[in-house]
Amino acid sequence: MKVTIRMVGDIYEAYVPKKDLEEKVVAMDNGRIWGGIVTLSNGWKFQMPDLPADTRLPITVDARKLSDED
């Protein structure tokens, strides 16, 4: 699923165009936005691609939405 990641102040935000959904990133399982699982404020979880820490934002990436049981 396409997800656009951007920074607003010191907070990451994710926009999912297919659902017209914009939410804050509230948790990152490895302490960084790339290469792990992020949780949005609505509870959705995405497996993010492994990109360099200095990747310029905003950027649209293909992320895998995890099922609600994950």
In angstroms, rounded to a whole number, what is the distance separating the alpha carbons of residues 36 and 19?
22
**Which residues in the chain show pLDDT less than 70?**
69-70
In angstroms, rounded to a whole number, what is the distance separating the alpha carbons of residues 61 and 28?
16
pLDDT at position 66 is: 96
Q: Indicate the pTM of the whole model.
A: 0.91
pLDDT at position 69 is: 57
Collapsed DSSP state (helix, strand, coil) of residue 34: coil
CB 40 within 8 A of CB 25: yes
pLDDT at position 20 is: 96
Q: Model confidence over 19-38: pLDDT tens digits?
A: 999 999 999 999 999 999 99
pLDDT at position 67 is: 81
Beta-ladder partners of 7: 12
